[in-house]
Amino acid sequence: MTDDIVDTIAEVTPELDALRRRRPVTREQLQASFDALFRPVSTEHVSRAERELVAAFATGLAGAADPTAAFYAARAQEVDPQRAAVVIAEAAAAATAGPFGTYTELGLQAENADGVRYVPSETVIAAVGERLAAALAHTHLLVFRPREASVADLGRLLDAGWSTDGIVTLSQLVSFLAFQQRVVTGLGVLAAAGLTSEISDSDDSEEEAA
């Protein structure tokens, strides 16, 4: 079985491995994305600690019991334990239902929905720094109300010390984590339902028929 991050988080079984091998390109791209974001050639615009802390916050919004959240929380605690404690607590407090937000396009106002908007407190800003606090606020925006993302939100990141390249990396990071989390959750559901055994048996039957 291929040793990759999704396998690690999902505690892949032979049946899950067989299922994942049905989508080899998706499997390879997920791992390649993880490597690019968490094992980058350069951390000039986004430090390793910032990547891990944002990951812990973004995935932690799903709840501490989520296996992806637990994985990234442990990584963040290893790299920056003091700020990780604050970030993990903030994720738990800022968790909500989504997506929600207000559309600016005409004809979509009927789909507007309201929800909790995360704003780091002065205490949190003092604990993690203005730069990381701005990243957490932006992460919450991208996870729960992407329809409201605007030039003004990017301006707040720039004001907090983020470069354009850093903002791009931050956005890529949040997007990747959302997809990775869905994959892990889906695998967990299949495993819990016992469907992977049926898929494996189907594969064996196809091979025998061939």
- Give the domains, in start order, of the chain with CATH numbers: 44-184 (1.20.1290.10)
Tens-place pLDDT, residues 75-94: 999 999 999 999 999 999 99
Give the separation between CA 5 and CA 20, rounded to whole angstroms. 13
pLDDT surpasses 80 at 210: no
pTM for the whole structure: 0.87
Tens-place pLDDT, residues 123-180: 999 999 999 999 999 999 999 988 888 899 999 999 999 999 999 999 999 999 999 9
